[in-house]
């Protein structure tokens, strides 16, 4: 469990530094919302920025595997959630893997959309944005639940 957490943290930091040159930043693309906004960001990035973005996707796949596994293992293999009922532990254990699956969907769509295939962008960009929103919601909710579990454990 510790290994997956450390791997996720190191991969996240490495990718954040690697993608710093992208302006607007990666989050802007993740929440573009529509094809025009998405295309405007790609135009600002120019071909070199798009290539930089595309080159990070295989490493991002390792990151999503690491954080998905970390969340599941923290929930099921440690005492952090010991005071939660089995049903709640099961729900919490799904948060990070579901976030990781949403990240997979986002990555596949972004890979396709940044390869020059923009004819379906009006449909696919909102789906990619929804995947991004689900991913971030799962990660943030997991963090909130961990803080709650730790505060309950201290009482």
Q: Which stretch of DSSP H or E encloses residue 138?
A: helix 121-154
Whole-model pTM?
0.92
Work out the angle at residue 106's Cα, subtended by the Cα atoms of residues 127 and 118, and round it to the nearest 5 degrees.
65
Per-residue pLDDT tens over the stretch 82-93: 889 999 999 999
Residue identified by tokens 């135009």 is 43
Per-residue pLDDT tens over the stretch 131-148: 999 999 999 999 999 999
Q: Which DSSP string corresponds to 55-114?
A: HHHHHHHHHHHHHHHHHHHHHHHSSTTTTS-HHHHHHHHHHHHHHHHHHHHHHHHHHHHT
Per-residue pLDDT at 14? 97
Counting the structural domains of the chain, the total is 1
Q: Which two tokens stand for residue 6?
A: 């450390």
Per-residue pLDDT at 55? 97
- What domain range includes position 134? 1-154
Per-residue pLDDT tens over the stretch 7-39: 999 999 999 999 999 999 999 999 999 999 999
Per-residue pLDDT at 150? 87
Q: Which DSSP string corresponds to 141-154?
A: HHHHHHHHHHHHHH
Average pLDDT of the chain? Answer: 95
Per-residue pLDDT at 155? 63
Per-residue pLDDT at 153? 65
58: pLDDT strictly greater than 90: yes
């Amino acid at each position: 469990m510790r290994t997956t957490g450390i791997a996720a943290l190191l991969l996240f930091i490495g990718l954040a530094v690697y993608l710093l040159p992208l302006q607007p930043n990666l989050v802007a693309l993740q929440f573009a919302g529509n094809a025009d906004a998405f295309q405007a960001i790609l135009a600002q990035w120019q071909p070199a920025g798009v290539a930089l973005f595309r080159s990070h996707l295989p490493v991002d796949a390792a990151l999503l595997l690491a954080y998905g596994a970390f969340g599941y293992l923290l929930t099921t293999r440690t005492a952090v959630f010991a005071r939660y009922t089995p049903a709640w532990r099961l729900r919490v254990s799904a948060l990070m893997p579901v976030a990781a699956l949403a990240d997979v969907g986002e990555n596949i769509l972004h890979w396709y959309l940044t390869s020059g295939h923009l004819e379906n962008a009006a449909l696919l960009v909102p789906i990619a944005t929804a995947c991004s929103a689900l991913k971030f919601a799962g990660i943030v909710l997991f963090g909130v639940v961990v803080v709650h579990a730790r505060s309950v454990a201290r009482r």
